Amino acid sequence: MQVTTITPCSTFVSCSLPLYNTKVQAGFPSPGDDYITGKLDLNTHLIRHPAATFFIRVIGDSMRDAGIRENDLLIVDKSLEATNNKIVIAVVNGEFTVKRLRYVNKEAYLVPENDDFEPMKVGEGSYIWGVVTSVIHQF
């Protein structure tokens, strides 16, 4: 027997294609044909700006009425502008705190969401660190 040619087996190249959620049918086209199914990813859903996004753990319950409880996980985006009514992470006396930001006559206040706590003014040495975009509570 003679060897005539030697060829390598072809390298497998993958190509992703969108997956349509209906079979091709003859006749009436389904309104679902234009929709492509894909996986749902929490990361892309909750984090718009990964380089500027950090996770912070909650201690205490002064933001209870905003739905933020002890041990919850906060997703904080440092690239967002801290505007009126946003829930923010602020630095007060060198520590992180979570509060709602409120501007009253152009003065900034850090307001708790729990009647047992008092609002405080953003004073000398305090500053806004980032904006809380989501809170994750695990049961």
Partner 1 sequence: MPVFALVDCNNFYASCERVFNPKLENKAIVILSNNDGCVISRSNEAKALGVPMGAPYFEYQKICLDNKVTVLSSNYEYYGDMSNRVMSSLKQLVDDSNVEVYSIDEAFLNLDKLPEEDLTKYACSIKDKIGMWIGLPVSIGIGPSKTLAKVANFMAKKSKCGVFNITDEKIRQDTLASLKVGDIWGVGKRIAIHLSKLGITTAGCLRDSDPKYIRKIFGVVGERIVRELNGVACFELETNPQDRQNIMTSRSFGNPVTELADLQEAIADYAARACIKMRAQESKAQGINVFVQTNWHKDKENFYQKGNNYLFDIPTDDTSLVICKAKEIVKALFKPGLSYKKVGICLLSLNAKDNCQFSFFNNSVQIIDKAKKSLVMQSLDIINQKMGRGTIFFAAQGTKKAWAMKRDFKSPHYTTNWKEIPKALT
Active-site positions read 62, 99
Site for partner 1 contains 101 (CB under 8 A)? no
**Alpha-carbon span 77 to 130, nearest angstrom:** 6
Q: Other CB atoms closer than 10 Å to residue 53's CB: what's the count?
A: 19
Residues facing 90 on adjacent strands: 97, 128
Piece of 28-36, 38-46, 65-73, 101-109 that binds partner 1 (CB under 8 A): 65-73
**Alpha-carbon span 17 to 19, nearest angstrom:** 6
**Alpha-carbon span 64 to 78, nearest angstrom:** 23
Site string (102-131) toward partner 1, x via CB under 8 A? ----------x----------------x--
Q: Which is nearer to partner 1, 20 or 96 (CB)?
A: 96
Backbone angles phi, psi at 8, to 5 degrees: -75, 150
Site for partner 1 contains 48 (CB under 8 A)? no
Q: Other CB atoms closer than 10 Å to residue 86's CB: what's the count?
A: 16
* Both structure tokens of 118: 């008092």
Site for partner 1 contains 59 (CB under 8 A)? yes
Tell me which residues in 7-46 interact with partner 1 (CB under 8 A).
Answer: none
Site for partner 1 contains 78 (CB under 8 A)? yes
Residues that bind partner 1 (CB under 8 A): 49-52, 54-64, 68, 70, 73-74, 78-79, 89, 91, 94-99, 112, 129
